Amino acid sequence: MAELARLVVPDLGIEGVPLSLSLWLVPVGAEVLEGDRVVELLAGGASIDLGAPVAGRLVRQLVDEDEPVAAGTVLAEFEGAG
């Protein structure tokens, strides 16, 4: 089985501001290109989009919408194309 690529919350350099997963933009099973927007985070009223780490298929969402997250949290796993 191929290794799965993980989408991880990067260190955004903001401290003391709650960060949460606001919205999944892509459903499980969807095919994406590297960099396609897949999730929206919310930090103190500002939204931050994160892109797919690889081209392939979203196989697992590990965090539900409206859940708090922090830098280093694994949000999703992707199966790379080819």
Q: What is the pLDDT of residues 6-23, one digit of tens each?
A: 999 999 888 888 999 999
Distances (CA, A) of 2 to 33, 60, 61, 70, 73: 18, 15, 18, 27, 22
**Three-state SS for 56?**
strand
pTM tops 0.85: yes
Q: What is the pLDDT of residue 61?
A: 98
Q: What is the pLDDT of residues 20-78, one digit of tens each?
A: 999 999 999 999 999 999 999 999 889 999 999 999 999 999 999 999 999 999 999 99
**By residue range, what is the domain housing residue 33?**
5-80
Spell 62-79 as b/e; 16+ CB within 10 A means b: ebeeeeebeeebebbbbb
Q: Which domain CATH number covers 53? A: 2.40.50.100
How many domains does the chain divide into?
Answer: 1
